[in-house]
A and B are shown apart, each in its own frame.
Chain A
Amino acid sequence: MPVPCRRGCGKNAVLKRPKTGDALCKECFFWAFETEIHYTITKAELFNKGDSVAIGASGGKDSTVLAYVLKTLNHRYNYGLNLMLLSIDEGITGYRDDSLETVKQNRDDYEMPLKILSYKDLYGWTMDEIVAQIGRKNNCTFCGVFRRQALDRGAAMLDVKCIATGHNADDIAETVLMNVLRGDIARLKRCTAISTGSEGTIPRVKPLKYTYEKEIVMYAHYKKLVYFSTECVFAPNAYRGHARALLKDMEKIRPACIMDIIYSGETMSVKEQVSLPTQRTCTRCNFVSSQEVCKACVLLEGLNKGLPKLGIGKSSKAKRMLEEYNAKQAGNEGALQDAIKDLNDTNSIGARNQRISSKKKNANKENNDTCNKNDCCGGGCKSNASNVDPVASNKKLNMLLEQFGLDEKESVKKKSSLENGVSDPNDEHSDEETPFNAQEEDDTCSASCGGSHIAF
């Protein structure tokens, strides 16, 4: 039975808004969605006329919708902004290489300049190489810390007034929960701020702070925006996944709870006697830090010294590791001296270095090999990726349409079953939620690994 649009425009509604439960038609939804973001931008005074703004772009749904909406609003309400895209290439084969193609598409579609910075250039390591060192656990820590700084560096290069990121309401609520679970009071305090940054740093703003992920997906779907929707290959082990799973469960029961959690975060204050870290600059790289040496430098040092766990866990452990390392180094040095004496050959140091670099090259080569494999099956592999892609996103969409969509769900479902070439077994059941939910719960951590997402 068709439900009329709540705004009384005479058309039939296509979705029910999770935030308020109102049913809207497609046109009215576009208008409401954009107007809300406009309200957020204006009310929170995120931008000034004439500003240059970098949009942290990953090619994912959030940043694609952000770029599209900012461009639209900039034009419609005369913000006078100079928008550009800023992407970070973490060097994750099978994820970022493909998503960067989407960003390039955005660049052409929205006519915005694009700057891409890579971890390889900035830090000398790709995420693939880092994961080879650290393993599947804790790798999101590296990626998040490095990206935060990489975005700062990119923004400085582009000489922009601020960076807009695609964090949505779900991401923020999730972060509030995560910081409570981890007991991170300092981050808990600042994670709900719509704009962060103090003097000397380039502020970051989150125009989609009050926008539900579900609506972003629906908006991108109805607007037919091109985005990349594969999960980061390294994400599933992140701690954030726990908070995400909890939030998804709660959202099913009371969709408004996402806003309520954000409100809680906004109105909560920290007791005066609690000491919080003060912001300063890293003595090594001069970027923002809460410690003498910033996390990015510590992590990088660990990688370069072959102690990848250096920046993970307690600082006391790190100290001990460093001491052991230094002692060992001293020992090695001694052994080396002996060797030099024995052989009376000064080239041995060079040889050692060469060995290391050739090892590194090997690692690179391995990665290249896998890349090449992707390339050599060229079309096949690509179509493979894009085969996975629409099916996955269709599933997600189907689920959303099921929960919030109204009349179109029939057609979409049929379309997907046609595309899949098999009849959808769910067609027969009236209560299809379970299989889709199971599917959704699998995608645990896209937020922490979406390009613009930083561990705040």
Chain B
Amino acid sequence: MNCKKCDSPKTVILRKKDYYCDNCFMLNTNHKFRACLGKNKVLTPNENVMIGLSGGVGSTVLLDLVHHAISLENTKKLRITPFFIHLYDDDCRCLAESLIKQCEKYNFDVYVVHLAVYMNSNYELPQANTLQDFSEENERQVFKDMMNSMPSSAANDFLLKIKRNLLVEFAKKLNCSVIFTAETTNTLAVNLLSNLAIGRGSQVQYDIGFCDNRDDKVKIIRPIKDISNEELNHYISIKQLTPVNDSHIKSNSLQSVISSFVSELQDNFQATISTVCKTADKIGDQKESNTHEKCLICESDLDVKNMKLSAFEATNVSRMVSLENNQSYPTFEKTPDIIHRLENNNNTSVFPLINKYLCYGCSRNHSEMNIHKLPNQLQKALSAE
């Protein structure tokens, strides 16, 4: 079998059936990255772009692709000024060190920020290429406690929101109006199903699509969203790169179940992941919303879609009929009374603070968290009347 494109001997097999040679494969992958940025037209020349690096497979390749694209000296040169940032926590300190070395090879500076800065909203830029001596031992512990105080599904979801929040904040500090993140097709397929499972169906466009523009000033862009892990692994072995980290989601969670499900199904049905992502591309808001009410945790528009009855009301009614204890034995009342009573009983909601401060998904998570472990500012904002 020979390369599909140029008939030279094949070296790469994709999807168990498509053959490529190294050259054509690399061209193709590079093209996917360029095309993704090109056709969406969000970059203006010489823009400051912050690039979030996790050290994983996607991030390693993104780093290489960006390096390659900005070192070109022809018309194809990618005209951006990149800034690199890495968010880490105590469990992967040495990863952060390897990541600094990884960037060193390209002569890039990288800011390494501890996730615990979320606790006191202290968004000071650290010195580049150094692991800041994060003296606030206390804060790190508080952060850990907060993450451990919630079930793993909520923790995985919340961590994504924290990272998003930190990226946006630091981008503002660096005067970047665009952020690149390195989610691959595989990650996004898992994220789409996770989003659905957490009640974030209306946010799919931002969490899985090409561009997250929930923040007014900073856009988050996913330039390698059309490249699969399979392709990335080939890329890495051809270019002999060394990723420093494997993405880790807490096990025994919705996300971990979905992740293993997707890769299993992908094995049997090679189109699974691309189908899921193509579906995601078709989901999105029909109208630009004109409300300015945003979720305090994830910045999504608060759902105001007018529905007579949704799973939200149904869950609340479920709770109410299970709690009501003003009569020892259930009686069967006439229609209007009971419906009326169910509707006007708001203090027993399963969803704290929903539609006032939080979206459905964040509110669901919130109900499983220990509220007193959240950052002070957030606690204060959530309790404000």
Taking Cβ atoms with an 8 Å cutoff, the residues of A that contact B are 6-10, 17, 19-20, 22, 24, 27-28, 30-32, 35-36, 38-40, 42-45, 76-78, 176-177, 179-183, 185, 188, 194, 209-210, 242, 245-246, 249-250, 253-254, 256-257, 259-272, 274
Taking Cβ atoms with an 8 Å cutoff, the residues of B that contact A are 151, 153, 192-193, 195-202, 204, 252-254, 257-258, 261, 265, 272, 275-276, 278-279, 281-286, 303, 305, 307-315, 317-319, 321-325, 328-330, 332, 334-335, 338-339, 342, 350, 360-361, 364
Complex Cα distance A269/B286, Å? 7
- A210 touching B314 by the CB < 8 A rule? yes
- B279 touching A180 by the CB < 8 A rule? yes
Contact pick for A260, options B197, B282, B309, B338, CB 8 Å:
B197
- B201 touching A267 by the CB < 8 A rule? yes
- A43 touching B278 by the CB < 8 A rule? no
User: 5 tightest CB-CB pairs across the interface, nearest first?
Assistant: A264-B201, A8-B325, A31-B330, A260-B199, A22-B322
- A19 touching B318 by the CB < 8 A rule? yes
Most buried by B among A45, A182, A264: A264
- B151 touching A261 by the CB < 8 A rule? no
Which chain A residues border B282 with CB–CB below 8 Å? 185, 270-271, 274
Complex Cα distance A9/B360, Å? 32
Q: Known contacts being A36-B314, A246-B261, is A265 close to B201, with CB within 8 Å?
A: yes
Report the tally of A-B residue pairs with Cβ distances under 8 A: 187
Complex Cα distance A28/B361, Å? 29
Complex Cα distance A344/B308, Å? 73
Complex Cα distance A44/B310, Å? 9
Q: Smallest CB-CB separation from B265: which chain A residue?
A: A242
Q: Known contacts being A35-B321, A43-B313, A260-B361, is A253 close to B257, with CB within 8 Å?
A: yes
- B312 touching A263 by the CB < 8 A rule? yes
- A254 touching B193 by the CB < 8 A rule? no
Complex Cα distance A177/B329, Å? 40
Closest Cβ of chain B: how far from A7's Cβ, in Å? 5
Which chain B residues border A181 with CB–CB below 8 Å? 265, 272, 275-276
- B322 touching A7 by the CB < 8 A rule? yes
Complex Cα distance A28/B332, Å? 12
- B310 touching A263 by the CB < 8 A rule? yes
Chain A interface helix/strand/loop/mixed: helix
Chain B interface helix/strand/loop/mixed: helix
25 contacts between A and B (CB under 8 A): A7-B330, A9-B330, A20-B319, A22-B323, A32-B321, A35-B338, A36-B314, A181-B276, A183-B275, A183-B279, A210-B314, A245-B261, A246-B193, A250-B254, A253-B257, A254-B153, A256-B364, A259-B199, A260-B198, A263-B312, A264-B201, A265-B196, A265-B201, A271-B284, A274-B282
Which chain B residues border A28 with CB–CB below 8 Å? 322, 330
Q: Smallest CB-CB separation from B154: which chain A residue?
A: A254
Besides A40-B314, A210-B315, 11 new A-B residue pairs in contact (Cβ under 8 A), listed by A number: A27-B330, A28-B322, A30-B330, A78-B334, A179-B279, A180-B192, A181-B276, A256-B364, A260-B199, A264-B200, A268-B204
- A257 touching B204 by the CB < 8 A rule? no
Complex Cα distance A43/B153, Å? 32
Which chain B residues border A249 with CB–CB below 8 Å? 257, 261
- A259 touching B323 by the CB < 8 A rule? no
- B339 touching A42 by the CB < 8 A rule? yes
Most buried by A among B197, B202, B282, B315: B197
Q: Smallest CB-CB separation from B325: which chain A residue?
A: A8
Contact pick for B276, options A8, A32, A180, A246, CB 8 Å:
A180
Most buried by B among A38, A45, A180, A261: A180
Q: Smallest CB-CB separation from B310: which chain A residue?
A: A266
Which chain A residues border B313 with CB–CB below 8 Å? 43
Q: Known contacts being A8-B328, A35-B338, A260-B361, is A246 close to B258, with CB within 8 Å?
A: yes
Q: Known contacts being A42-B339, A266-B311, is A36 close to B254, with CB within 8 Å?
A: no
- A43 touching B257 by the CB < 8 A rule? no
Complex Cα distance A176/B283, Å? 13
- B335 touching A6 by the CB < 8 A rule? no
Q: Known contacts being A8-B325, A19-B318, A263-B311, is A271 close to B254, with CB within 8 Å?
A: no
- A36 touching B283 by the CB < 8 A rule? no
Complex Cα distance A60/B72, Å? 66
Contact pick for B285, options A183, A185, A265, A269, CB 8 Å:
A269
- B279 touching A268 by the CB < 8 A rule? no
Q: Smallest CB-CB separation from A24: which chain B residue?
A: B322
Contact pick for A185, options B257, B279, B314, B334, CB 8 Å:
B279
Which chain A residues border B192 with CB–CB below 8 Å? 180
Most buried by B among A31, A179, A194, A263: A263
Which chain B residues border A209 with CB–CB below 8 Å? 314
- B319 touching A262 by the CB < 8 A rule? no
